[in-house]
Amino acid sequence: MLKIKGFQSIFVLVKSVTAKILSPILAMLVLVSTVSWTVDKHLCMGRVMDVAIFSSANDCGMETAMQALGEKENLCCDDESFTMQGQDELKLGFHDFELDQQIFLATFTFTYLNRFQEKEPKVPDTIYPPPLLVYDYTTLFEVYLI
């Protein structure tokens, strides 16, 4: 019997640690998949000079140098942008599920929520007093807890 209790406590420990690790990972996965990402790169002479996420990349200063020299066209610098679109349709309605899925979802929700409600005892303790002690057996047999 002791082995079963030890195994159960190890199982509960592994379950709680797994839940604590997987919850933030799944939250980050949902966040990454729903947000649109824009990555901006500034290239100067084929080298990446700046990379920015959600904003525009800073230039290398070659634009101002070319304007100071009087040249209108800058052939050495280039800007690249990559946009990854996120999901827009994450909101599902109850009617989007099939009938058997709706029944399962409603039943599961009902039983899960009712699991945590306190149940009143069928027989209240105030009506029936505890039985009277005829003999005090610990004194009678001289058995005492140390």
140 exposed, middle or buried (CB, 10 Å; 0-12, 13-18, 19+)?
A: exposed
Residue 22: inside a domain, yes or no?
yes
In the structure encoding, which two tokens stand for residue 19, read together? Answer: 């839940």
> Could you report the per-residue pLDDT of 20-49, keeping only the tens digit for each?
898 999 899 888 878 888 889 988 888 888
Residue 109: inside a domain, yes or no?
no
Q: Which of 63, 62, 40 is nearest to 53 (CA)?
A: 40
Cα-Cα-Cα-Cα dihedral sign, residues 110, 112, 118, 124: positive
Domain total of the chain = 1
Residue 54: inside a domain, yes or no?
no
| Structural domain boundaries, residue 20 | 1-34
State yes or no: pLDDT of 139 exceeds 70: yes
The set of residues, in sequence order, having a beta carbon less than 8 Å from that of 66 and lying 6+ positions away, is 72, 73, 74
The model's pTM is 0.41
Residue 47: inside a domain, yes or no?
no
**Distance from CA of residue 123 to its chain's centroid?**
43
Q: Which of 116, 94, 93, 92 is nearest to 105 (CA)?
A: 94
Lowest mean pLDDT among 17-31, 58-72, 121-135: 121-135
